[in-house]
Amino acid sequence: MASSERRIVTIDGPAGAGKTSVSRRAAGRLGLAYLDTGAMFRALALALGPGGHALPEGEIAARLAAMTFSLAGSGAETTLLVDGAPLPDAARTEEVGGWASNLAVLPVVREILRRAQQALGQCADLLAEGRDMGTVVFPEASRKFFLTASPEVRASRRERQLTALGKPADYAAILDAIRRRDDQDIHRAASPLIPADDALVIDTSELSEDMVVERIVTAASA
Ligand code: DC
């Protein structure tokens, strides 16, 4: 169980709902460390490579259990360290996101990462971002949010992000990948992507990033 002494705020939602930049900024404003749990799934995906999810379960579990996760810095400047180093940019691609989604259906992966996430939540007051933070990992969080947006809006945002990073971006392919990843994340048996009953759901399709941050900070401070 998560520590009830620590202050935990959770932000869940699908890929491209604007969670990452909003979560970082909200963490800074609320004085909480920022935990990007998608990065933990991505770290495993990168370590195992494209066919990682098809490896024997015992091998996946052993590789994951040997990885160490820690947080450096604070607020918006918090960095997740994997085996003592920040996650490389190579982990941020759509491709690695797909591999991470494949691994995320495996209960053994979710179980090991749930424990690692809860351990981090015992070391610091956290804003934890992911898919099942409010439902499974930190059910006793003091405030829970679920960000969503239409698949088309999410695909355009992702296209803009990739273009800004100088990476190739094909809108149709991104939209297709988002739809497939949503389908897999929503329909998996273990910790499906759904809002917690007590989460505040925010549709970000028509909202600026500033507006979403304000809404979260106001609600979490109330
Ligand atoms: O948020 P992201 O795109 O970096 O996450 C990558 C994948 O990891 C995503 O498709 C689903 C999975 N994930 C998860 O299942 N649970 C989390 N708490 C975070 C991510």
Q: Determine the distance separating the centroid of ligand 1 and the alpha carbon of 194, expressed in angstroms.
A: 13
Give strand pairing partners of 35: 128
pTM: 0.91
Across the chain, mean pLDDT equals 93
Segment 126-146 mean pLDDT: 97
Q: How many structural domains are present in the chain?
A: 1
Structure-block tokens of residue 2: 């998560």
Q: Determine the distance separating the centroid of ligand 1 and the alpha carbon of 131, expressed in angstroms.
A: 6
Give the CB-side neighbour count of residue 17, counting CA atoms within 13 A: 25
Question: In whole angstroms, what is the distance from residue 185 CA to residue 15 CA?
Answer: 10
Q: Which atom of ligand 1 is nearest to the CA of 97?
A: 6
Segment 23-42 mean pLDDT: 98
3-class SS of residue 6 = coil
The residue range of the domain holding 170 is 2-221
What DSSP assignment string belongs to 107-153? Answer: HHHHHHHHHHHHHHHHHS-EEEEESSIIIII-TT-SEEEEEE--HHH
Which protein residue's CA is at the shortest distance from atom 10 of ligand 1? 101
For the cut 80, the answer to whether the pLDDT of residue 5 exceeds it is: no
For residue 114, the domain's CATH number is 3.40.50.300
Tens digits of per-residue pLDDT, 51-68? Answer: 999 999 999 999 999 999
3-class SS of residue 173 = helix
Tens digits of per-residue pLDDT, 86-115? Answer: 999 999 888 999 899 999 999 999 999 999
8 A C-beta contact, residue 101 and residue 181: yes
